[in-house]
């Protein structure tokens, strides 16, 4: 605990007085202060001026990060026959239909992304209470209910990130690892912010992006200047 305390204190000291910095400076600061003995994840959190309880203010979508997430993504696919074979060939980790539904209902969720063909949604729909809270429910709006199983699996495996506004209008996601270069972290951040910016819903009024912060798993967060991050500086 003492070592962790010293590391946290040092990181906070390095960040002291530095608020609303540029995306590039934030990337360097977070990377340089990720001192844990494991490869820390780099995470971004954005506070938006929306109330996701209203349908016309919901923010959700996907973004293909230029450098991936650095994380191995396990993909489950609900499909039958030819589409199940397509999923297998594309590299899906778990494939099934009613049998997979029963496994998930039993509490075993050994995957990070869930994809389904449209004809399987009657089966997958029974899992709403299980998959919904984990943001794993397949949805045509983010390309996870599709007949193009090959493209969906490859996108998930290739570093595609899903995002969705949660309570208080906060969107957060992992956008890389501390082992990435500062430039890779910066480019991933810019891609993510751009995707969320383009996903602005029709019901959003006033200031859309209020706060942006980035941090590593064990480190403090650093706030980013919203105007510079969105290209409106």
CA atoms within 13 A on the CB side of 205: 4
Better pLDDT: 231 or 152: 152
- Tell me the C-alpha to C-alpha distance, in Å, between residue 60 and each of 77, 154, 184, 229: 21, 20, 24, 19
**pLDDT tens-digit map of 118-166:** 999 999 999 999 999 888 999 998 999 999 999 999 999 998 999 999 9
Q: What span, in angstroms and rounded, lies between the C-alpha atoms of 229 and 222? A: 13
Three-state SS at 59:
coil
User: Can you give the pTM of this predicted structure?
Assistant: 0.80
Q: For position 1, what pLDDT does the model report?
A: 40
The residue ranges of DSSP E strands in the chain, in sequence order, are: 41-48, 60-64, 75-78, 94-96, 113-116, 160-164, 170-177, 209-216, 222-223
Q: How large a percentage of the chain has pLDDT more than 90?
A: 81
Q: Among 118, 69, 111, 81, which Cα is nearest to 93's? A: 111
Q: CA angle 127-128-134, nearest 5°?
A: 100
Is residue 115 pLDDT above 60, yes or no? yes
Q: Which residues pair with 216 in a beta bridge?
A: 42
Is residue 3 pLDDT above 70, yes or no? no
Domains and CATH numbers, the chain: 19-69+161-229 (3.30.190.20), 75-157 (3.40.50.790)
Q: For position 161, what pLDDT does the model report?
A: 92
Per the prediction, the chain carries an average pLDDT of 91
Q: Which of 11-20, 155-164, 207-216, 224-233 has the lowest mean pLDDT?
A: 11-20
């Amino acid at each position: 605990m003492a070592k962790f305390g010293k590391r946290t204190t040092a990181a906070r000291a390095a960040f002291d007085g530095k608020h609303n910095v540029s995306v590039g400076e934030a990337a360097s600061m977070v990377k340089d202060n990720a001192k844990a003995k494991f490869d820390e994840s780099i995470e971004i959190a954005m506070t938006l001026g929306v109330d996701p309880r209203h349908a016309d203010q919901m923010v959700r979508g996907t973004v293909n990060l230029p450098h991936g997430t650095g994380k191995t993504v396990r993909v489950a696919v609900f499909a039958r026959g030819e589409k199940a074979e397509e999923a297998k060939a594309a590299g899906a980790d778990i494939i099934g239909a009613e049998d997979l539904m029963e496994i998930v209902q039993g509490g075993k969720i050994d995957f990070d992304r869930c994809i389904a063909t449209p004809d399987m949604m009657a089966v997958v729909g029974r899992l709403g209470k299980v998959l919904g809270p984990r943001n794993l429910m397949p949805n045509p709006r983010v390309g996870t209910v599709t007949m193009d199983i090959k493209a969906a699996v490859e996108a998930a495996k290739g570093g595609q990130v899903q995002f969705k506004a949660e309570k208080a209008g906060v969107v957060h996601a992992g956008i890389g690892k501390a082992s990435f270069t500062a430039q890779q972290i910066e480019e991933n951040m810019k891609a993510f912010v751009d995707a969320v910016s383009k996903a602005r819903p029709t019901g959003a009024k006033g200031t859309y992006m209020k706060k942006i912060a980035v941090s590593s798993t064990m480190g403090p967060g650093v706030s980013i200047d919203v105007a510079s991050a969105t290209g409106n500086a």
